[in-house]
Chains A and B, each alone.
Chain A
Amino acid sequence: MAAHLKKRVYEEFTKVVQQQQEEIATKKLRLTKPSKSAALHIDLCKATSPADALQYLLQFARKPVEAESVEGVVRILLEHYYKENDPSVRLKIASLLGLLSKTAGFSPDCIMDDAINILQNEKSHQVLAQLLDTLLAIGTKLPENQAIQMRLVDVACKHLTDTSHGVRNKCLQLLGNLGSLEKSVTKDAEGLAARDVQKIIGDYFSDQDPRVRTAAIKAMLQLHERGLKLHQTIYNQACKLLSDDYEQVRSAAVQLIWVVSQLYPESIVPIPSSNEEIRLVDDAFGKICHMVSDGSWVVRVQAAKLLGSMEQVSSHFLEQTLDKKLMSDLRRKRTAHERAKELYSSGEFSSGRKWGDDAPKEEVDTGAVNLIESGACGAFVHGLEDEMYEVRIAAVEALCMLAQSSPSFAEKCLDFLVDMFNDEIEEVRLQSIHTMRKISNNITLREDQLDTVLAVLEDSSRDIREALHELLCCTNVSTKEGIHLALVELLKNLTKYPTDRDSIWKCLKFLGSRHPTLVLPLVPELLSTHPFFDTAEPDMDDPAYIAVLVLIFNAAKTCPTMPALFSDHTFRHYAYLRDSLSHLVPALRLPGRKLVSSAVSPSIISQEDPSQQFLQQSLERVYSLQHLDPQGAQELLEFTIRDLQRLGELQSELAGVADFSATYLRCQLLLIKALQEKLWNVAAPLYLKQSDLASAAAKQIMEETYKMEFMYSGVENKQVVIIHHMRLQAKALQLIVTARTTRGLDPLFGMCEKFLQEVDFFQRYFIADLPHLQDSFVDKLLDLMPRLMTSKPAEVVKILQTMLRQSAFLHLPLPEQIHKASATIIEPAGESDNPLRFTSGLVVALDVDATLEHVQDPQNTVKVQVLYPDGQAQMIHPKPADFRNPGPGRHRLITQVYLSHTAWTEACQVEVRLLLAYNSSARIPKCPWMEGGEVSPQVETSIEGTIPFSKPVKVYIMPKPARR
């Protein structure tokens, strides 16, 4: 916070410096400071009409106010407030007061008295509401001051009887946010009567205005959020609100009921109109279920969402949610699900060829049928059939959460989830497939259910198919027919959509390894072997055949009898696939073949601790760098870097850390090397040819620092400082080298200026971290800053040079979790010999499919670059929708890149690669005053530079001249 403040102070400084560069800057500084409030005062005095005054205030609000002058501004505003007759101006002043009191570093207790004072004399309801809002801002700013909170609560209670709903709303909000948490505290010396905030708020549950009722419930929820334990008596009050006429009241009431049910799940409540009693959580569950068929979809979404988190509900109630008694003409009818189940258990498969198939069976006792069951009955049946897809998605999510906690429920909801695979909205389908995957360890699919699931494999949406493949990876299938069916459907999918190849293979891998015993009886059929005859050897390059083999080999891993069924060529194919697709085909214990050493894995696990130690040790070794002579330092760095790199290769989990520190050390090494050059001692004209190394080093250090800053996820502020510091050093080096190699001072002036600005920027940005940088380059630099400002370039360079040599090596604190961003382009594969032909001048679309790991915010940072043979480079920004997020830290980019070029005579290769765009100024936080204001968005979108982070893939293309 403090750093933030100071930064703002410095901003003011710089502004002044820039504006009046000719004059002596230091004198002006003090003069400009109080100008803000003074200007406001003058403006307000000038204002002739309320509209004018309002304009001035609006203008004033656009600019930030520094913490020191807040109080002055507040005084001026208050003064005008008393004089002002126009309520709109007073309203604006009140809102400004609230905004100002939020200013960091300003303690608003001094304006509280005034605020309360003007509150008492205010007549306009709107201004009153705004003033209460201001008080709320003040109160939240001073959370530890009990006396003030008490006073504010008192004020709020006093105004609760106001006729305007706006004022009452704000009062309730104030109570919710500031109402005292513990009774004991209220016996403060102040002599204020202890108030039961909950009761006061509860009284407004029956206010005549729905907005106030909503605010009351929200205030209650706020109390709960702040840790106050709500009384159980609220439950009954909230239940009454469920039948309110207004949707926002009902929606908030549902939340409140949910909160109470989580607080007192086990207490017992009576069922009205009977003597029975049930647990509160069950009762609440029933009530919320009832709200799933509310008239307003907002409430329905709310209710459906909350259902998912009520895990304590008893299973009896839970299972009712899927229950819907069907009847037709007063006779009991079975649901299609029940019929399907029956058909399945009776051994018959296809269904419904007869008209009377779903004919109703037994008569229903008219008295026993309950048409609007109170409670949970059929809540999910309704929710899943809802008109709005938002409700359906919420219901599916809730179903997922409940099923995860209750296996029996999971089994029951399966039919319904499978049904959702045919929803008309893709999002819902996708969501239900994901849900199914999440609960898949609790369930086993019946054959008829599997059938429905597999039917979706033909979906034209790639997302759906891939989600389904993932689902199949972790489902349990009960019969060998099921496996066969799945395989057949997957192969059908493969022929229809060849691009799904990888995903299907992966799916079959898991399917095989999960069900070895079910695959076993299928093997002869799948490999089409015959007991007597040799069959033709299948084509090894056929993806379908590979798919079958992947299934079989993975099953064979845990089923030693299986290889006996293989024919000769199967073994050959195994050897081939084991090499070419090693991630899909496991090592098998085959007769007559030596098992590939599998002893690697256990040793790695035991080594984990030592390797961590090793990393620490090698990094500690580097601390002694300073005390070594340059030669020794270089050597030490070199072999430490080597060690780290090797460690990174061996230990994937430490790779991020090792790489990160190795990069940093390399920068240091480069710096030392550059400073070690002989050239520094030689006269200027002679360096020209040699200085290459130094400037190249400077350039490389810059690049590396950008990589360090942007390519790793989990980099904290501590590291960013060090990285920036290193960059600053590189810039200094660059400056020195340029100074030495160029003649004439003009360019140097600019460079010096720029460098000093950088230093200034560094200081402002990292002001809080400066104490950690003792003895460093920047530390020394800042000491000499005043001198540098006034010195000539030549002198500056000289100072810099000595300082660079003298500065200490900063050691890099390691972050907790650090991962290097990486990307692999799956498609285009880059092996094709057939050029992609298209007419020159027109466009050709190239499908790009890549996986990204540990990339933060890929939507904004990841770009695709196409390099043409003539050196022309083109950068493409993929759409945000092209990124999918299959797992934490993982992203998938599926996009189309449009290529175009004038005609070539030969087919040539273009390079496609992924770039990580960065913008170092985007990291600077914005000041809160401007929040929601009109901040120019271009700052965030502009790209400062890019880092390539994937291997380039070559694509063979051939633009042909257009025929005439």
Chain B
Amino acid sequence: MPEIRVTPLGAGQDVGRSCILVSIAGKNVMLDCGMHMGFNDDRRFPDFSYITQNGRLTDFLDCVIISHFHLDHCGALPYFSEMVGYDGPIYMTHPTQAICPILLEDYRKIAVDKKGEANFFTSQMIKDCMKKVVAVHLHQTVQVDDELEIKAYYAGHVLGAAMFQIKVGSESVVYTGDYNMTPDRHLGAAWIDKCRPNLLITESTYATTIRDSKRCRERDFLKKVHETVERGGKVLIPVFALGRAQELCILLETFWERMNLKVPIYFSTGLTEKANHYYKLFIPWTNQKIRKTFVQRNMFEFKHIKAFDRAFADNPGPMVVFATPGMLHAGQSLQIFRKWAGNEKNMVIMPGYCVQGTVGHKILSGQRKLEMEGRQVLEVKMQVEYMSFSAHADAKGIMQLVGQAEPESVLLVHGEAKKMEFLKQKIEQELRVSCYMPANGETVTLPTSPSIPVGISLGLLKREMAQGLLPEAKKPRLLHGTLIMKDSNFRLVSSEQALKELGLAEHQLRFTCRVHLHDTRKEQEMALRVYSHLKSVLKDHCVQHLPDGSVTVESILIQAAAPSEDPGTKVLLVSWTYQDEELGSFLTSLLKKGLPQAPS
């Protein structure tokens, strides 16, 4: 029985360390290769020994697909390809290919230089790993080998995020990666066609949330910033360098443009400048507005947003500063925060979730006095705002995507078990689609019934077409032919051709049958009666009465004979070839019922 097997090595009932193994029609594909942010030991990377104990990974995996550049989806890639050892192709989209190494390098620096970890991958390894990458375009069908093909769909979420369809023959799996069903200021919404895969593997981060309109959120954000700078205050927005930061930049930039504001906006330098550069390059991946207007002006060439310099923080007057990192735990954002915290005119806006223990979390939970290093106490007088900008699909969005793709079954990953449970129940209830949610290391097996394509010879098809009306859509139809299986392909040809090809002689096969009828009349008369009877019953067949006293219906021969022993019974000999089996058996049963009483 053919089947699809799915085993999550990471992201099974969990967020982070996305890594899912899929075997489909004998092909093994690894989807994403991420790291876990919550661990610092071996658990941070997927357990690749699950795939093979001692063989080379390359022999077991046909390809690796990376959905987008977030570290929980690509963080383990250099480790996997260089340290564990994999030489096969790695597929990702162009923007991911461009941005991924920057983030990996950043990650490596923090792990090695800051935390001093040994036995970590090196810069060279990142480079080597990226050499194995094959970039794909949206909606481009890539043939990995003769049978396996993959295709990328737009996913929103971050620049270059994609959903992948993996297809072997008629069996297919769609992996969504992370996606967003509502467009934002710089990216569009995920879209997939009605590809009807056997299995849809979807993320379920917000499985139990239905989100409010993004407009209120944006408006709130803009209003807060605007009010503060009008008062003459300074606004600090701690962000991570990629993703949301660009959305907020665009938001503020367009607002500044619209409202004709002159207050300076700064963006802390470093990583971001490089990233912004890529955003400028990959315009086709952005949303409608940016795509439409980039000819006049590339939206990522910010007019109002300038590079930040340390010295600017002390400048008088209002300003807005985007600073890294996002949770106010270190670096530039924290420095600026310390400078500005004392003034109640100023404001800090936290655009996302903060991990417990960070300064961000403390101030969000209402702490007004912070202990800094060196026993200093910092009094926070500035306003603290929280704003949630998230780019995952909510429960409704997930349902919408499932509805769009129309899969046979759904598998949930990248979410908490409890939340998945709810969504699973909903999917099964409302869409009537079976749903799975395996834990890490647990294998889901899905039996499939792949359809087998059979080639039909044109001659046969035309002959069949000529016989009857057009084939009714979605209705089976009977067709006579010979199936030839040769070199793992199937052909349906007419029997004559099959005989010719195989060099066989044709055998005639005839069925004959005797029908006994009680009749006292002569054979000729009898035959005439049979003829008129059949003629009246079988209106659309060719019934003939031959001069030698026999009757033919198409190619079926009926002869009347009188057995010598009993003059009261006559015997009808019916003979037909096996091709006319249907008609022949019908005729015999008809004749067995007897002839109607002749009007004598």
Contact = CB atoms under 8 A, between A and B. Distances in A.
B254 A424 contact: yes
Interface stretch (A321-329, A545-553, A791-799, A857-865): A321-329
Contacts of A461: 258
Given A387-B288, A422-B219, A460-B259, A372 B430 contact: yes
A385 interface: yes
Contact of A389 (B193, B214, B226, B289): B289
A509 B403 CA distance: 53
B443 interface: no
A86 B482 CA distance: 38
Interface in B392-413: 395-396, 399-400, 403-404
Contacts of B426: 369, 371
A459 B191 contact: no
Interface stretch (A227-235, A348-356, A669-677, A758-766): A348-356
B287 A330 contact: no
Contacts of A369: 426
Nearest to B400: A293
A565 interface: no
B399 A371 contact: yes
A226 B364 CA distance: 66
Nearest to B183: A387
B497 interface: no
Chain B's interface: helix, strand, loop or mixed, by majority? Answer: helix
B44 interface: no
Given A389-B288, A424-B289, A455-B223, A419 B191 contact: no
A328 B182 CA distance: 17
B353 to A, nearest CB: 10
A381 interface: yes
B73 interface: no
A333 B191 CA distance: 28
A337 B194 contact: no
Given A206-B473, A295-B193, A352 B220 contact: yes
A98 B399 CA distance: 51
A422 B396 contact: no
Nearest to A328: B209
A59 B419 CA distance: 71
A2 B400 CA distance: 59
B272 interface: no
Given A206-B473, A295-B194, A355-B364, A387 B189 contact: yes
A499 interface: no
B214 A385 contact: yes
B108 interface: no
Nearest to A415: B216
A419 B215 contact: yes
Contact of A385 (B191, B194, B215, B259): B215
B2 to A, nearest CB: 25
B170 interface: no
Interface string A310-336: 000000000000001111111001011
Given A161-B469, A460-B260, A419 B289 contact: no
Interface string A662-684: 00000000000000000000000
B144 interface: no
A163 B470 contact: yes
B544 interface: no
Interface string A95-123: 00000000000000000000000000000
Given A335-B216, A389-B289, A460-B259, A424 B425 contact: no
A245 interface: yes
Given A419-B219, A420-B215, A371 B430 contact: yes
A324 B191 contact: no
A837 interface: no
A49 interface: no
B355 interface: no
Interface in B214-250: 214-220, 222-224, 226
B590 interface: no
Given A355-B386, A388-B288, A366 B399 contact: no
A207 interface: yes
The listed residue with most A CB atoms (<10 A of its CB), out of B257, B289, B419, is: B289
B260 A458 contact: yes
A345 interface: no
Interface string B472-511: 0100000000000000000000000000000000000000
Contacts of A535: none
Nearest to A351: B220
A361 B264 CA distance: 39
A385 B216 CA distance: 11
B330 interface: no
* Chain A interface SS verdict (over half): loop
B222 A422 contact: yes
B288 A371 contact: no
A328 B388 CA distance: 12
Nearest to B473: A208
Contact of A327 (B210, B404, B470): B210
A688 interface: no
B209 A327 contact: yes
B122 interface: no
Nearest to B218: A422
B213 interface: yes
A336 B473 contact: no
Contact of A459 (B210, B211, B258, B366): B258
A856 B135 CA distance: 56
Contact of B191 (A163, A295, A458, A496): A295
A582 interface: no
Contacts of A381: 213
Nearest to A350: B227
Nearest to B396: A371
Interface in A142-164: 161, 163
A846 interface: no
B383 interface: yes
B215 A422 contact: yes
Nearest to A378: B396
Contacts of B220: 336, 351-352
Contacts of A496: 260
A461 B259 CA distance: 9
B213 A336 contact: yes
A882 B274 CA distance: 40
Given A207-B473, A208-B473, A385-B215, A353 B260 contact: no
Contacts of A419: 213, 215-216, 219
Contacts of B222: 422
Contact of B219 (A207, A371, A384, A452): A452
Interface string B189-200: 101111000000
A452 B216 CA distance: 11
A329 B208 contact: yes
A374 to B, nearest CB: 9
A540 interface: no
Interface string A372-409: 10000000010011111100000000000000000000
A718 to B, nearest CB: 48
B431 interface: yes
Contacts of A604: none
A330 B208 contact: yes
9 contacts: A335-B213, A336-B220, A353-B384, A385-B213, A386-B183, A387-B288, A424-B185, A424-B289, A460-B258
Given A351-B220, A458-B260, 10 more contacts: A161-B470, A366-B422, A366-B425, A371-B210, A371-B396, A372-B430, A384-B215, A422-B219, A424-B289, A460-B258
Interface of A: 161, 163, 206-208, 245, 293, 295, 324-330, 333, 335-337, 351-355, 357, 366, 369-372, 381, 384-389, 416, 419-420, 422-425, 452, 455, 458-461, 496
Interface of B: 182-183, 185, 188-189, 191-194, 208-220, 222-224, 226, 254, 257-260, 287-289, 364-366, 383-386, 395-396, 399-400, 403-404, 419, 422, 425-426, 430-431, 465, 469-470, 473
Those 3 A-B pairs whose CB atoms lie nearest each other, nearest first: A336-B216, A387-B183, A419-B215
